[in-house]
Amino acid sequence: MRIRLGYDIGYEFAQPTPMIATLNVHYSRASDLERPDTMTTTPSVPYVSYRGGFGNWVNRMTTPAGLFSLHADTVINDSGVADLVPAWSEQVAVENLPAETLVYLLGSRYCETDRLTEAAWDLFGRAPKGWPLVQEISEFVHRHIAFGYEWARPTKTALEAFQEGRGVCRDFAHLGVAFCRAMNIPARYCTGYLGDIGVPAVHDPMDFSGWFEVYLSDGWHTVDPRNLIPRIGRVLIAQGRDAADVAITTTFGPNELKHFRVWTDEIEPAPATTP
């Protein structure tokens, strides 16, 4: 299938301000793009692109004072296959994990593994290891947290989401990540596009989505406790320890968000070419 995706995000700055933006489709999906998802700005400013510490594409710039907007619009080809449910995947003993996965066992800014370990073992200590354990964690988080944009705040941690029992998709993901790490399963936070393809449409404004991935015996697998059911058309932007590593924009000065629009829609197949 073909999916049109993009964004239009605007800020008001009181003065020229350094900014970094993590908005490009992840390099692992680059070959699926029909055209580059090049970021443009209004007004136009120069920017430098680089690969961040977790391999994500990052754009660095200095904004002018006044209204400043970021835009992109592209088409990506997708298999149309729903998220895999790897019921056969086994948990890997910590001593046998690849070295590069160990960072995803540690606590981080939004995932206080140390403060949630006791609760995790009380809740999930008797669950079978591997994917069944991951599934049990995901189902618990889905039941435990009530979703609502009115409960979003940028400082909320996994522990606070657990205590409050409400939040947005990033809070579902943070709590799932923290519980998996507490149970010795490497887990990393993900952000990207996820539209209403194959499911009933919702009336809430489109936003970027947060989910996570776990490392098991046959590699990394997607887990989405907010939606729970396997979804179609998930497009990764960035991965990291938690939302602090994959913020869509980070600004180094005061500003006000003026508009925010994201789209991800299935479109018609490309017309066949005549030889």
- Quickly name the fold that domain 2-79+248-266 has: Immunoglobulin-like (2.60.40)
Q: What is the pLDDT of residue 57?
A: 97
Tokens, residue 32: 């699926």
- Report the amino acid identity of residue 168: V
What does the pLDDT look like over 82-119, one tens digit per residue?
Answer: 999 999 999 999 999 999 999 999 999 999 999 999 99
Distance CA 154, CA 101 (A): 26
- Phi, psi (rounded to 5 degrees) for 268: -65, 150
Task: Read off the DSSP letter of residue 111.
Answer: B
224 in helix, strand or coil? coil
CATH code, residues 94-244: 3.10.620.30
Distance CA 275, CA 259 (A): 45
Strands 255-267, 2-13: parallel, antiparallel or unpaired by DSSP?
A: antiparallel
Tokens, residue 11: 């800020």
Strands 57-63, 47-51: parallel, antiparallel or unpaired by DSSP?
A: antiparallel
Strands 249-251, 47-51: parallel, antiparallel or unpaired by DSSP?
A: unpaired
* Distance spanning both ends of the chain, measured CA to CA: 22
Q: What is the pLDDT of residue 274?
A: 56
Residue given tokens 């209204």 in the structure block: 67
CA-based nearest residue to 22, from 249, 194, 188: 249
Q: What is the pLDDT of residue 209?
A: 96
Spans in the chain with pLDDT lower than 70: 272-275
pTM of structure: 0.95
- Domain layout of the chain by residue ranges: 2-79+248-266, 94-244
Q: What is the pLDDT of residue 202?
A: 81
